[in-house]
Amino acid sequence: MVPGAVESDERRRVRAVADAAVAERVRELAGNTRRVASVCVGAHLLAAAGLLDGKRATTHWSTARQLAAEYPAVTVDADPIYIRDGDVWTGAGLSACIDLALALVADDFGEALALRVARQLVVYLKRPSGQSQFSVPLDPLSTTRRIDEIRHYITRNVTEHLTVAALAERMHVSERQLTRVFKQELGTTPAAYIERARVEVARNRLETTDDTLERVAAISGLNTVDTLARAFRRTLRVTPADYRKRFRTG
C-alpha cells in the first residue's frame, strides 16, 4: 500500500510530489508482492516507479491532470473511486480508500465478507457514484490571457446563447482554431466547457438555495429540467435531486 505526498504553492494550489528514492524502493518491493495499491496521490509514486505504464489508474481529482501530463504512458481516469488493472490497484481520495480496502477484502475473501465489513463500518460496499461530483473542474488554470478572457466571458454569460461560432468571432479566430486552443489549454472542447460552466452554476444553486429545478435550470443557462438532468449525469454521474440531497448546506 503506497501513500503519497503533496506540496502547495503560495496560492494554495496542491501538487503531488514523488521522491525518486522512494519510487525506486517501491519498484523493488513491487517485484516481491502479489499486488500493489496506492492511496490517493500515491498513484504518482506508482507512476514514477513505472508500475502504471500502459495501465488505467485514478488518483485524487485535484492532481489527476498533473498525473496525466507527467506520465503520458498512464491512462488517467479521475472519476472512479478506485481502479484495478491487473495486479495494480489505485484509489482516489483518502476516504475513497475505504472503498479500495473493501474491494481488496472482496478479492481475497468474497463479497459476502466484504459486505459484513462494510456494514460494521457503516459505509457503502460500493458507492453509488464517482468522485467527479466532489471535484471543482473550473478552478483557476494556468492559461493564456486570450483563453482566460473567454473563460470569464462564458462564466459571466452562461444564460446567453453561447455557440462556438460566437466565441470564435469574439476571439477573432476560426471555429477550428478555437477548438484547437481549448483542447490544448483546457483539455476539452468549447461546448463541453460551456456545459461544465453551467453545471457549476447549477451546483452552487443546488447547494445553497431551495430553488426549484426549473429555476436552477433557467439560472444556469441549461434552460430545462431535462437538459439539467442530462448534463449532471454526463458530468457528475448523479441526478440534480440526488446531488442536492448530498451537498445541500442548509
* Within-domain flag for 139: no
Domain closes at, from 132, 155, 186: 132
| Co-location of 33 and 120 in the same domain | yes
* Within-domain flag for 138: no
d(CA 26, CA 106): 25
* Within-domain flag for 140: no
| Co-location of 127 and 163 in the same domain | no
pLDDT given for residue 127 in this prediction: 72
Domain membership of residue 218 as a residue range? 145-247
Contact at 8 Å (CB) between 71 and 31?
no
Of all residues in the chain, what percent carry a pLDDT higher than 70?
Answer: 94
pLDDT given for residue 83 in this prediction: 95
Residue 197 has pLDDT above 70, yes or no: yes
Domain closes at, from 107, 132, 157: 132
- Ranked by mean pLDDT, the top range of 7-16, 38-47, 241-250 is 38-47
d(CA 99, CA 119): 12
d(CA 224, CA 216): 9
Residue 39 has pLDDT above 60, yes or no: yes
Range in 118-127, 163-172, 195-204 with the lowest mean pLDDT: 118-127
Contact at 8 Å (CB) between 99 and 124?
yes
Residue 158 has pLDDT above 90, yes or no: yes
DSSP annotation of 50:
T
* Within-domain flag for 137: no
DSSP annotation of 89:
E
CB contact set of 68 (below 8 Å; sequence gap of 6+) = 74, 76
pLDDT given for residue 13 in this prediction: 81
Residue 238 has pLDDT above 80, yes or no: yes
Count up the domains in the chain and report the number.
2
| Average pLDDT score over residue span 151-164 | 92
- CATH number at 34 reads 3.40.50.880
d(CA 164, CA 190): 6
CB contact set of 63 (below 8 Å; sequence gap of 6+) = 6, 14, 15, 16, 41, 44
Q: What is the mean pLDDT of the chain?
A: 90
d(CA 1, CA 11): 31
Contact at 8 Å (CB) between 43 and 3?
no
| pLDDT band at 122; cut points 50, 70, 90 | confident
Residue 118 has pLDDT above 90, yes or no: no
| Co-location of 101 and 73 in the same domain | yes
- CATH number at 182 reads 1.10.10.60
Domain closes at, from 106, 132, 158: 132
* Within-domain flag for 65: yes
Report the largest interatomic distance among the alpha carbons of the chain, rounded to a whole angstrom: 61
**Closest by alpha carbon to 224, among 200, 208, 202, 192?**
202
Query: 192: part of which helix (H) or strand (E)?
Result: helix 190-208
Residue 19 has pLDDT above 80, yes or no: yes
* Within-domain flag for 94: yes
Instruction: Give the three-state DSSP class for 107.
Output: helix
| Average pLDDT score over residue span 96-121 | 90
Residue 74 has pLDDT above 90, yes or no: yes
| Co-location of 118 and 40 in the same domain | yes
**Closest by alpha carbon to 63, among 131, 128, 148?**
131
